[in-house]
Structure 1
């Protein structure tokens, strides 16, 4: 089947709208918030308000629940532009976790719809101190007590622009016998902040996305009702797996945006900065770097668009999403690093956003699955058909 990734008129308009929003509402606040290490609440609320006015808030969610109803390819194009700045600011634009579409009954009124409207904010509670990349290694547990479940355990590195109102929490609720031995039953709960026994505190300050908060969660005999299970008991890992494949692709789109902005800064500098009587872009040591940066970015863009197209058509595999994430995230690291090399010492000064892009890009090879995990997924998918 022939592939054509030429943007539609609607997609071009969307990209231009997001670019305008970024230039007016995000870029002007980068340097000050980076120095503060915080996005003041009033600024965050202002960004959210303006995002709603632009029609960008919850654009990834279905129209029937109040979202923008964008197709996934358009969401990827939007995220590419959003990726050009830091998540401490851009997180306020509003992209609710699509896993919330699994909410049913009263969960929709209590969690899904208020989140789409921007009235509540979720946190995604999967990672634990002893279970980062090994999601099946989580130890937080819930034990049934009549119609309730009692939760004990902890989570960390739970990212959000501000303190969440509730957590999409993954816990162990039992074990199943499988041909390969015992396997944990993972269940997804919706747990409100403020529930007795549930404590949430700020985690350490990160180097990447330094204004994007991370939280530590502690559960001590936290009682929740069975109505707070999202999906089915024991099927939480299936929910998480489908959601992570989606977000890995959006990480790839973010990385392409970061790389493009870094390339633009480096190209402008190379075309105007003079050394030894000529612009430095005329030296092969610089011009060849620019050529490699542009080539890698073009390849990552095409891979990301291809996989987004496959996702829309229901043919994307976990390996496809892993390829996009590992290639785009490592490409972005190389491009931002080369850009700093081209600018020299100026590239590390905080007058320019380049050092921020360089720092922020480092986490992209870790969160939503490390580069090593992505390679494991890809190789496992390649080898599985040959197993006997």
Structure 2
């Protein structure tokens, strides 16, 4: 079984626990739901504690805050006698004007990342420029309209979220981050209302001349094929479909774009796939991208002159961008460990050599196996639209 990087593993744990909590809520097993949400929070807190520089830390903190609110709601509900309603004090409600208010599960903060910070993915960057950046700069050149929905799919750790975040900088627009799992698990009673509020907010901003990117992570949780659905989930998806259809109106030139990301495109409900006119495969990095990524990742640490990046990039074939970052960190940590174990005999951390990289690679296998890659290739043959 292939290993995965620690952050991806902890993210997966958090999402799994949130889905388990949702199942418990459906069955009115509030004690179990509370326990599962706490386990999800613990996984996110471990990421923040061990990887404070991770670009998604702010999102993890926001999710933890929202989970805390959900716990208060459930703890109060669990303590209520059967038939009584939950106190309004612990209900999570949206107040304020549409101009300055968004549902609390939304992270509205412009990322600092740009296309230059992303190694490779030239085909994906080109498709995004043609679908979003060019129409914003010269809408008069697009009399037939332009895509408003873009699906980014591919293995985990390949840069889908980074691509979406970079677009907001390229267009000097606003970036709204939605986690589909949050929508489905925490807002079953108000999900469709909050989806509408997000799009109302985005349209209002666009009317005032500000392009808006609505990014939906883990899209399959929102638009996937599910069993044992409850009515709230169906209403959320129907509301999302309604909002997506509204963006396609050729008579409206608002610059509101929906970018969805998924590691499991085959789980998407087919009627929704066509709402994303651009469906872009974000693959594992090729050799050129691996070379650039190694250069970027090692720019702030000392590397031994004997390290051949060309040879190293060959050794890293099959690894995701996230995997490669972890390998560089692991190799560097070998030298750091030696520094702390040297009893002060060395003043600085020695340069990283090829043996360090060899050891790091030996201890970390690719997080994506060949069978999974075949699934992506098969889905691409059916649905790719770039």
TM-score, normalized by the shorter chain, greater than 0.5: no
> If the length of structure 2 is used for normalisation, what is the TM-score?
0.29
The structure, 1 or 2, with the larger RCO (C-alpha pairs under 8 Å, 6+ apart) is 2
> If the length of structure 1 is used for normalisation, what is the TM-score?
0.29
